[in-house]
Amino acid sequence: MRSAWTAVIIATLSVFVILIAVGQIFFASGESFITETALFYDIEEEVPFDGVYLRDESLIFNSGTGMLSYEQENGSKVGKSSVIARRYKSDNDAAYLRQIGLLEKQIAVLESAERLVGTDNSQLEAISIQINENHSDIISDIIDGDFISAADRQSDLLEAMCKREITLKASDGYSAKKKQLNDEINRLNVLISGGVQEIEAGDAGYFVSVVDGYEGEITYDSVDDMTESRINEIVASPTKTRASGAIGKLISDYHWRVAAVIDTEKMFGLYEGSEVTLRVGSGTYLIDADIISVRKCEDNKAVYIFECDKLNSAVASGRTARFKLLVNSYGGLRVSRKALHYDENGERGVFIVRGQNLLFKKVNVVYWGEDYVICSQEPDDDYLKLYDKIVTEGGKELYDGKVIG
C-alpha cells in the first residue's frame, strides 16, 4: 500500500515538474523580441547659415570677338603673365587646341618614365608607394570637392604607373605610343584656322571666371558695411549686372571673410575671437575660421564676420554660399530611444540578449536625437558594449537575468 502511494506521489510530482517545464518553455517561446546591434555612430551638430563673401577682387576685361576658352580653373593661382583665356575664331579651333594640350601632357609623362629604361628595380618599392599615395590623394581631393588638385594629380599617377611598368621590364619604352600621339597632334594642327588671341592675367592672384557685379563694391574690409539688411539683400540677389567686357576676375589674396546673420542662441557661447570650423555647401571639406566681429541686431540675432585662409574652387566661385558651422561632434554607440529602461535603482540602461538570458546594461547618454541616443563606450562591464544585441521591442516583462529560451 505504501509503495502504491509512493508511486502515485512520484507520478504526480513528475507530471507537475513536467507541466512547469513545459509551461516555462511555452511562455518563453511565446515571447518574441526585436533587437538591434549596438554599432559605433558619429554625428555632428551644425548651425546652417547663408553667408556673403568679402574679398579683394579686380576685374579682367577683354573686348575681342570669337570663341572664348578659359585655360585656368576657378580658384587656381596664376602669375602676372599667366594666360587665363584664349579667343578662337571658331569652337572647333578651341576644341583642337585643348586636345593638343592633353596629348602633349601625355607625351611629357611618357618621356619622363622612359628615363628609367635600363635601370634595375631598386626604385620599385618607392614607385609603388608613390602610386598608392597619388591614388589616395586623388580620392581625398574628390571627396573634398577640390577637383583642381585631383586633375593635377592625374598626370603624376599616370607617370608613376608608367615608371613601374618600365621598372618591371614590362616595357622598354613608349616610342610607338609617342609617335601615335605626335601624328595626332600634327593632324589637329592642320585643322586649326589660326588667329588665336591670348589673354593674360595682368597681375598675380587667384583666377575666377564668374563675375557677379559686386567686384570692388564688397571688399575684404567691408566689415562695417555688412548690416543685417545689406546681407539679406545680397543673399536674396547674389548677382548684379556685370561690367561690359568683363571676362573674369582675380582674387588678390587667399585670405577671405564671410558675413552672416545668425541667431545668437544657436551659437553656443561663441564670441569675437572664437575659433570655429565651417563646412561649405554639402561637401565634406572643412575650413578653420576665426570670428573677428559680432554685432548684435534685433530678435536675438547678430552679424557675424568669419575670417578664413583656405581658398578652393567652391569658395572662389560664388558671392554667397550655404555654410554650416560645426558646433559639436559626438561618437559612440547608437541606441533607439524606445530601448531605454530604468532599473530598480533608477539607473538608465537597456536590455540585451546574451545566450538564453536578458541582461540589463547601463548606458551613459552623450547625445539625445529625435528617436535615438548616442552612448559613450565605457570600460566597465556593467555598461553596453559594441555589438551587443539590444532589445527594442517585445517581451511581456523585462528584467535582468530573465530566461528567454
Q: What is the DSSP string of 209-238?
A: ----S-TTTS-TTTTTT--HHHHHHHHH--
Residue appearing with cell numbers 593635377: 152
pLDDT at residue number 359: 93
Same domain, 143 and 211: no
Read off the pLDDT band of 232 (50, 70, 90): very high
pLDDT at residue number 8: 39
pLDDT > 70: percent of the chain: 90
Read off the pLDDT band of 12 (50, 70, 90): very low
**Least confident among 111-125, 217-231, 237-251, 359-373:** 111-125
Top pLDDT among 57 and 330 is at: 57
- Residue 293 pLDDT > 70, yes or no? yes
Q: 3-class SS at 175?
A: helix
- Residue 349 pLDDT > 80, yes or no? yes
Top pLDDT among 142 and 387 is at: 387
Query: What's the grid cell of residue 121?
Result: 628595380
Q: Rounded to the nearest 10 degrees, how much is the dihedral formed by the CA atoms of 331, 335, 336, 337?
A: -80
Domain boundary among 174, 194, 214: 194
Is residue 341 assigned to a domain? no
Compute CA distances 133 → 122, 208, 307, whole Å: 19, 29, 32
- How far is the C-alpha of 374 from the C-alpha of 122, rounded, in Å? 51
Same domain, 133 and 182: yes
pLDDT at residue number 21: 39
Top pLDDT among 202 and 395 is at: 202
Is residue 111 assigned to a domain? yes
Is residue 400 assigned to a domain? no
pLDDT at residue number 25: 38
pLDDT at residue number 162: 81
Q: 3-class SS at 397?
A: coil
Asked if 201 and 81 count as a contact pair (C-beta separation under 8 A), the reply is: yes
Same domain, 210 and 246: yes
pLDDT at residue number 20: 37
Residue appearing with cell numbers 538608465: 348
Same domain, 206 and 190: no
- Residue 387 pLDDT > 90, yes or no? yes
Q: For residue 126, how many other CB atoms are within 10 A of its CB?
A: 12
Same domain, 53 and 158: no
Same domain, 158 and 177: yes
pLDDT at residue number 142: 80
Is residue 181 assigned to a domain? yes
Is residue 124 assigned to a domain? yes
For residue 218, give its domain range. 47-59+202-327
Same domain, 241 and 305: yes
Same domain, 121 and 140: yes
Give mean pLDDT, residues 72-100: 87
Distance between start and end Cα atoms, the chain: 42
Is residue 221 assigned to a domain? yes
Residue appearing with cell numbers 594642327: 189
Is residue 66 assigned to a domain? no
**Least confident among 117-126, 172-181, 208-217, 259-268:** 117-126
Domain boundary among 308, 327, 346: 327
Give mean pLDDT, residues 212-239: 95
Is residue 263 assigned to a domain? yes
Give mean pLDDT, residues 292-315: 91
Same domain, 51 and 120: no
Give mean pLDDT, residues 138-152: 76
- Residue 19 pLDDT > 60, yes or no? no
Q: 3-class SS at 3?
A: helix
- How far is the C-alpha of 150 from the C-alpha of 167, rounded, in Å? 26
Same domain, 149 and 258: no
Number of separate domains in the chain? 3
Same domain, 186 and 206: no
Domain boundary among 194, 214, 249: 194
Same domain, 135 and 186: yes
pLDDT at residue number 43: 81
